[in-house]
């Protein structure tokens, strides 16, 4: 199972919006299986930010929004804050009942 | 609150074995599937294996199949990963994570802090 494709890095200034893409195939992102997004600040465990493409777990700010079109999912962070600086990973369940992650995107808040 | 605490990591020689454990608390362990995910130093996340809530179903990444065995003890609220024939490329932080719901298509929500496995001679 090949990893999902994410840009290595994105950046934005405080208050701006950034979007991170996640491209897979019809067997994972493009299927009816949910896409999820994780935030991982340096030296910490990943935290679930989005599940089932668009849903936010309790406690996640509504500045974080997920979407999907075809084989590409996206995470948009609006109103960037310094605390948002972290690595972000997308993930998808696959049609072969396995999980696949993206390579990760480093978000820098300028 | 949900807590997952991994243990059992360490330094092992290539070809050796290691058994990781994960102690769960703060939720009804037997209601959720559990998974292991690893992260090589400076690299991304890689799913390793999962086990259903009743141990009736397991699945493994190709990199783990045939060498790793996942198991759980619902009475003890613990998850395990037996790793055999270890290779240098298995060096990683291994995270224990809880599936968000019973089905294995539910994404992991809570993660432990991880345990480091280093495979080196």
Q: How far B45 CA sits from the closest chain A CA (Å)? A: 6
Indicate which of B34, B45, B99 best probes the interface with A, i.e. most A CBs within 10 Å of its own CB.
Answer: B45
> In A1-110, where do the E strands start and end?
9-12, 18-23, 35-40, 47-50, 64-69, 72-77, 86-93, 99-101, 105-109
Q: How far A7 CA sits from the closest chain B CA (Å)? A: 13
Block means of pLDDT (10 residues each) for chain A, length 110 residues?
Answer: 91 97 95 92 96 95 96 97 97 93 97
At B56, the pLDDT band (50, 70, 90 cuts) reads: very high
| Residue in A40, A77, A99, A87 with CA at minimum distance from that of residue B100 | A99
Q: How far B118 CA sits from the closest chain A CA (Å)? A: 17
At B103, the pLDDT band (50, 70, 90 cuts) reads: confident
Q: Is A24 on the interface with B (CB under 8 A)?
A: no
Task: Check whether B102 has a pLDDT greater than 90.
Answer: no
Q: Are B92 and B39 in contact (CB under 8 A)?
A: yes
Beta carbons within 8 Å of B101's beta carbon, 6+ residues apart = B32
| pLDDT tens-digit map of B18-34 | 999 999 999 999 999 99
Give the pLDDT score at B104: 82
- How many CB contacts within 8 angstroms connect chain A with chain B? 59
First vs last Cα of chain B: how many Å apart?
40
CB contact under 8 A, A93 and B109: no
What phi, psi does A39 have (nearest 5°)? -110, 135
Indicate the residue of A1, A57, A97 with minimum beta-carbon distance to B104. A97
Q: Are A9 and A53 in contact (CB under 8 A)?
A: no
* B47 contacts in chain A (CB < 8 Å): 91, 98-101
């Amino acid at each position: 199972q090949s990893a999902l494709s994410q840009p290595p890095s994105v950046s934005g200034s405080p208050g701006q919006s950034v979007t991170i893409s996640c491209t897979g195939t019809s067997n994972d992102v493009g299927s009816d299986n949910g896409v999820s997004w994780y935030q991982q600040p340096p030296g910490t465990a990943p935290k679930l930010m989005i599940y089932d493409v668009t849903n936010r777990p309790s406690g996640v700010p509504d500045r974080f929004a997920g979407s999907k079109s075809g084989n590409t999912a996206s995470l948009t962070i609006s109103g960037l804050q310094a605390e948002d600086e972290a690595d972000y990973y997308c993930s998808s369940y696959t049609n072969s009942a396995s999980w696949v992650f993206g390579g990760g995107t480093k978000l820098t808040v300028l | 609150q949900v807590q997952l605490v991994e243990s059992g990591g360490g330094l092992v020689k290539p070809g050796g074995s290691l058994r990781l454990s994960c102690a769960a608390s703060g939720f009804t362990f037997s209601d959720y599937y559990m998974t292991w995910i690893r992260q090589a130093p400076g690299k991304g996340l890689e799913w390793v294996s999962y086990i259903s809530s009743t141990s009736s179903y397991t699945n493994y990444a190709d990199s783990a199949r045939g060498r790793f065995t996942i198991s759980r003890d619902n009475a003890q609220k613990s998850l395990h990963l037996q790793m055999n024939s270890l290779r240098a490329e298995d060096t990683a932080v291994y995270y224990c994570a809880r599936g968000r719901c019973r089905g294995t298509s539910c994404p992991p929500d809570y993660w432990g802090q991880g345990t480091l496995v280093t495979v080196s001679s």
